[in-house]
Amino acid sequence: GKRLRPALPAAVLVLAGCEGRQSALDAAGVSAQEILATSWILFIGGAAIFLVVMALALYAAFVRPERFPGRSAWVIGGGILFPVITLTALQIHEFALARRLATLAPEPAFVVEVTGLMWWWDVRYLVPGQEPLRAANEIVLPAGRPVELRVASADVIHSFWVPSIAGKMDMIPGHVNRLPVVAQRPGLYRGQCAEYCGAQHALMAFDVRVLPADEFDAWMAAQRRPVPEPATPELARGRDAFFALGCQSCHAVRGTEAEAMTGPDLSRIGARASLAAGTLPTRVETIAAWIGGSQHIKPENRMPSFDVTDGETLNAMAAWLESLK
């Protein structure tokens, strides 16, 4: 009783950490549920076996030592038969699970191509009968509909992992890996590159937004419209500064003359939860800070710091970008 009490707050803290936006213990997708169930089987099974073995060891050592020496039944049963049966059962479970996860979306509603780059994510929605739709660093999925993710890399090996939705999938240059997913619970989840890929591997995260299926259709339709004209003179000044600074030589904003593919697509960047691959929350101040000091915030990334630009211009540009929703 009393001696356990100090451990309680720590245990609560540890478990509370599992309910976050990025947790394999907080499953919000079919694959994640299956993986979580398997984790529990392994954990509970392993704990039970450990306890039985420890109990037997103590019993043999202290209580009835004379019952154990030279008993081949224990060696054959506990040392050969039991492991063979248990490991074979787990292997069969694993084969069946791998097959179920790989065939989760035999007829996906659409495909999302996700390309890993040092250190961000290029996203392309391929919906049958529609033009491809490009985005970056955030993937929006409809709850309950099967979707096929096709993941690859444009430079080094990365790994795509959204623990709440599905298992890891490596992103390999020159090879497309397929990861079928069915997201179940609407919400905002966090993904993270799970393969060391250079200086900013830790700042290579992304968001997955799961919308109710009908809201998803409205979202997709809105995405396809060109971005609105600046509503105020300040926003217009921000847009002009964006082009004067040459941002369009790397970035694209749908419906404007910015159409470059080198950097992240910035259409609707204001609607994304985070900025610079999960590095900062999306706000006017953080966008301005990023443009002015990207090399300070995320050294060695491909975007130069525009630190010669005055604060007022940076703020106007940031305000325009933030207004793209």
User: In the complex, which residues of this chain contact ligand CUA (CB under 6 A)?
Assistant: 116, 119, 158, 193, 195-197, 201, 204
Helix (H) or strand (E) holding 65: none
Q: What amino acid occupies position 150?
A: R
CA angle 85, 40, 47 (to 5 degrees): 65
Contact, 56 vs 77, CB < 8 A? no
Look up residue 258 and give its two tokens: 């910015």
DSSP string for residues in 195-248: S--STTGGG-EEEEEEE-HHHHHHHHHHHHSPPPPPSSHHHHHHHHHHHHTTGG
CA atoms lying within 13 Å on the CB side of residue 283: 5
Contact, 245 vs 318, CB < 8 A? no
